[in-house]
Amino acid sequence: MKKPAPINEEIVLDPKRYIVSETDEHGKLTFCNDYFIEICGYSKEELLGNPHSIIRHPDMPKIVFKLLWETISQGKNINAVIKNLAKDGRYYWVFTEFESRRDTDTGKIIGYTASRKTISKHVTEIISDLYAKLLEIEKAEGIEASEAYLNAYLKDKGEDITFQNFMENIHKFY
């Protein structure tokens, strides 16, 4: 499926509704709630079985997804601010809570659940500047340089600030 060309038009989310999706352990969509389908503009048939990255916006730095996958593949939950791309090229910002799902018998990770809610304009302004810088570094120097910049950025915020802490704090305090 061909990705749409991004346009500079934001989809305003209903702060009282959640976007929910589930994937298998490889990131292929296995469930999407009605609000997810409504917002992203794809049909259920277009979504299920396809990689969740179908809605990945090109403004998102790869380092964010690298950190997400490293965390959830270890069975740990993580939160992140994500910019998604709808089928019509519009975008929407969400604060996403990623959780691992495990087989009740074996404990093996069998998939992931993502629940998303709207975030304030102030948060998107802060994070979009950081993401733009990370993306610029990735394009010029690669993902390792982007990760080094992010680590330095987080260290500047405080000794023990991790990406996870930063994401939680930015959502709580802004």
Residue 83 domain-assigned (yes or no): yes
| pLDDT digit string, tens, across residues 67-104 | 999 998 888 888 899 999 999 999 999 999 899 999 99
**By CB neighbour count within 10 A (0-12 exposed, 13-18 middle, 19+ buried), where does 32 fall?**
buried
Mean pLDDT of 113-124: 86
- Cross-strand pairs, 99: 113
Contact (CB, 8 A) for 132 and 92: no
Judged against a pLDDT cut of 80, whether residue 109 lies above it is answered with yes
Residue 6 domain-assigned (yes or no): no
Judged against a pLDDT cut of 80, whether residue 172 lies above it is answered with no
Number of domains in the chain: 1
Better-scored residue on pLDDT, 165 or 37: 37
Looking at residue 173, its pLDDT comes to 58
Residue 110 domain-assigned (yes or no): yes
How far the first Cα of the chain sits from its last, in Å, is 37
Which residues form the domain of 108?
Answer: 19-173
3-state secondary structure of 133: helix
Residue 122 domain-assigned (yes or no): yes
Mean pLDDT of 161-171: 84
Looking at residue 106, its pLDDT comes to 93
Looking at residue 3, its pLDDT comes to 86
| pLDDT digit string, tens, across residues 39-62 | 999 999 999 999 999 999 999 999
Residue 133 domain-assigned (yes or no): yes
Judged against a pLDDT cut of 60, whether residue 174 lies above it is answered with no
Residue 66 domain-assigned (yes or no): yes
Domain CATH for 153: 3.30.450.20
Residue 51 domain-assigned (yes or no): yes
- Residue 2 pLDDT class (50, 70, 90 cuts): confident
Residue 120 domain-assigned (yes or no): yes
Looking at residue 169, its pLDDT comes to 83
Cα(138)–Cα(136) distance, integer angstroms: 5
Element (H, E) at 163: helix 163-173
| pLDDT digit string, tens, across residues 147-160 | 999 999 999 987 67
